[in-house]
Amino acid sequence: MENIIKIFTYINRFLMITMFILFLTIYLGFCMEFVLGLFHMGSSLVLALLWEKLDETARRHLLKYWTLLFLYIFSYLIIIHFELLEDNQVSILFGVVVIPMSLALYYSFILENLKKRML
């Protein structure tokens, strides 16, 4: 399990740094943000398979992450379906950049703490 956490942490660091650099071009940054989100969802599902080996704090953080992720995806789908998103740049910025990046930073925090506790 320690090796999996280390690998996930190093991949996450690489993807986060790459994404921040690519945000200089904006479009490539958004593409990388999507790749990062897929990695986070996939690795969090792998951590779900290791649920019994995780301590209580890690479990609580993962549950919070999954809850926030579900709420974000559900809200985004509702907003798109009912066309509730105005042509407001602030709304678009929050929906496409700020909220997903907050989720990514929170998941990075979870991985870093898991790695720290494993050592």
Q: Which pLDDT score is estimated for 82? A: 79
Please give the torsion angle defined by the CA atoms of residues 22, 8, 74 and 35, in that order, rounded to the nearest 10 degrees. 30
pLDDT at 32 over 70: yes
Beta carbons of 104 and 39 less than 8 angstroms apart: no
Instruction: Compute the distance between CA of residue 37 and CA of residue 73 in angstroms, rounded to an integer.
Output: 12
Residues 83-98 have pLDDT tens digits of 776 667 777 778 888 8
Per the structure, how many domains does the chain have? 1
Range of the domain at 56: 2-118
Query: Dihedrals φ, ψ of 50, to 5°?
Result: -100, 20
Query: Band of the pLDDT at 3, cuts 50, 70, 90?
Result: very high
Cα separation values, 104 from 4, 14, 119, Å: 18, 13, 23
